[in-house]
Amino acid sequence: MSRTSLKSERLEKLAVMLAGQSPLKLEVAAAKLGVSEMTVRRDVLDSGGRFTCLGGHVIGAQNDVAGDYVLEQEIDHHAAAKAKACARAANLVEDDDTIFIDCGTTTPHLAAMIPQYLRLTAVCYSLNIADILSRRQNTRLILLGGLFHPEAASFSGDVALQELQRLSINKAFISAGGVDEQRGVTCSHFHEVPVKQAAMARSVQSHLVVDASKFGKVRPAFFSRTDAFVSICSDRG
C-alpha triplet 91, 212, 94: angle, nearest 5°: 10
Contact predicate 85/214, CB 8 Å? no
In whole angstroms, give the CA distance from residue 16 to residue 191.
Answer: 33
What residues in the chain have per-residue pLDDT under 70? 1, 20-23, 49, 53-56, 60-77
At 111-138, the pLDDT tens digits run 999 999 999 999 999 988 999 999 898 9
pLDDT of residue 1: 65
In DSSP notation, 70-95 reads -HHHHTTTTHHHHHHHHHHHHTT--T
pTM above 0.95, yes or no: no
Q: Are strands 139-143 and 203-209 parallel, antiparallel or unpaired?
A: unpaired
Cis peptide upstream of residue 23 (ω within 30 degrees of 0): yes
3-class DSSP state for residue 229? coil
Q: How far apart are CA 79 and CA 232, in angstroms?
A: 18
Encode pLDDT of 135-150 as tens digits. 898 999 999 999 988 8
